[in-house]
């Protein structure tokens, strides 16, 4: 696929239709010598889909995510393009045209984000419960305290954290638990889209696997869509429905995870795949089964010979 990948040539979405459409989105850093950080990005995110966004450090993944959520500060500037949110009530929202108050109401309630290094983003002098409660009060001012407490306990339970931890301070939690709290905060208002920017960075592999399993499970239970950002392409092959590969600010390839694994078309994607050692176990086994068995989401477990190693 070419660098000017268009929506018309993108692989099919889930039959449930799109929840987010990004068309020809470009971001420039207005320095003495302007730097184009994202160039003509095109993709759609399907309802209930996990879309992986892969690429090396500095390729524009986080810049693209910030542009979608309108989080950029100068010198960053969205120079062109459209970002359209397709609400489940049938309304289409032009995110780049939202005024400040409408944008504030939109964030977290419709689209939330787990930031890179999020487990260190909690306020160290306030309890977990207070920080969760702040989000609820900001968006649902009429919600009574008891109802807010119940909702906080509910989302903590969903991500595998004891609700009693609402009285804990961040330093009393492990790194994995803090990361789960940040995911709970992103889920608090039941958004339709969640952007996760390197959500398992700095966690050991066992904790990473547990959190990834939770993300997959919650996505299936609650039917929100995920944009999962990482430089770890093998990880995306395990959890994503489709994967977009970025290089120097451009989406150079967009395809299903299975097709990308078997027959990547762009030389950069093939280099990314070749840069990781071959591991036993097929796509999905690490997250969905926790063992070395070869797993396919539609057909169950398969033999190792069903996956041919990439040249």
**What confidence tens digit (pLDDT) does each residue in 189-237 have?**
999 999 999 888 767 888 888 888 888 988 988 899 999 999 888 889 9
Between residues 307 and 191, the one the model is more confident about? 191
How far are the Cα atoms of 124, 241, 251, 270 from residue 304, in angstroms, in the given order?
47, 21, 31, 21
For the cut 90, the answer to whether the pLDDT of residue 54 exceeds it is yes
Please work out, in degrees rounded to the nearest 5, the angle formed at the alpha carbon of residue 67 by the alpha carbons of 246 and 184. 95
User: What percent of the chain lies above the pLDDT cut of 70?
Assistant: 83
Mean pLDDT, to the nearest integer, of 92-117?
94
User: How would you classify the pairing of strands 300-302 and 294-296?
Assistant: antiparallel
Q: State how far the Cα of 140 lies from the Cα of 142, in Å rounded to an integer.
A: 6
pLDDT of residue 1: 40
Prediction pTM value: 0.83
Map residue 110 onto helix, strand or coil: coil
Q: Measuring CA to CA, which residue among 180, 179, 192, 183 is closest to residue 226?
A: 192
Q: State how far the Cα of 180 lies from the Cα of 159, in Å rounded to an integer.
A: 6
Q: State how far the Cα of 196 lies from the Cα of 65, in Å rounded to an integer.
A: 9
pLDDT of residue 203: 76
Sheet arrangement for strand 76-86: 35-46, 18-29, 76-86, 92-94
Mean pLDDT, to the nearest integer, of 135-162?
93
Domains of the chain: 7-101+231-302 (3.40.50.300)
């Amino acid at each position: 696929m070419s660098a000017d990948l268009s929506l018309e040539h993108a692989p099919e979405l889930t039959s449930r239709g799109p929840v987010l459409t990004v068309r020809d989105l470009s971001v420039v850093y207005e320095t003495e010598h302007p730097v184009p950080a994202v160039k003509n990005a095109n993709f759609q995110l399907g309802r209930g889909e996990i879309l992986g966004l892969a690429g090396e450090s500095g390729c524009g993944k986080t810049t693209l995510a910030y542009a979608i959520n309108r989080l950029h500060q100068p010198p960053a500037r969205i120079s062109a393009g459209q970002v359209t949110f397709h609400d489940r009530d049938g309304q289409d929202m032009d995110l780049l045209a939202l005024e400040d108050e409408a944008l504030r109401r939109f964030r977290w309630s419709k689209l939330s984000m787990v930031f890179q290094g999020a487990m260190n983003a909690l306020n160290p002098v306030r309890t977990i419960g207070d920080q969760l409660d702040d989000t609820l009060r900001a968006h649902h001012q009429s919600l009574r305290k008891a109802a807010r407490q119940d909702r906080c306990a509910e989302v903590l339970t969903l991500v595998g954290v004891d609700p009693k931890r609402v009285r804990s301070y961040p330093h009393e939690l492990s790194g994995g638990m803090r990361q789960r709290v940040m995911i709970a905060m992103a889920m608090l208002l039941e958004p339709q889209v969640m952007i996760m920017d390197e959500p398992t960075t700095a966690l050991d592999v066992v904790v990473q696997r547990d959190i990834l399993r939770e993300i997959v499970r919650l996505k299936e239970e609650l039917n929100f869509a995920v944009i999962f950002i990482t430089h770890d392409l093998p990880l995306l092959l395990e959890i994503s429905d489709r994967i977009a590969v970025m290089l120097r600010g451009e989406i150079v390839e967009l395809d299903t995870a299975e097709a990308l694994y078997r027959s990547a078309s762009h030389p950069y994607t093939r280099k990314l795949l070749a840069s990781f050692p071959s591991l036993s176990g097929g796509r999905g086994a690490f997250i969905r089964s926790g063992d070395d068995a070869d797993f396919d989401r539609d057909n169950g477990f398969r033999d190792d010979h069903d996956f041919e190693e990439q040249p």
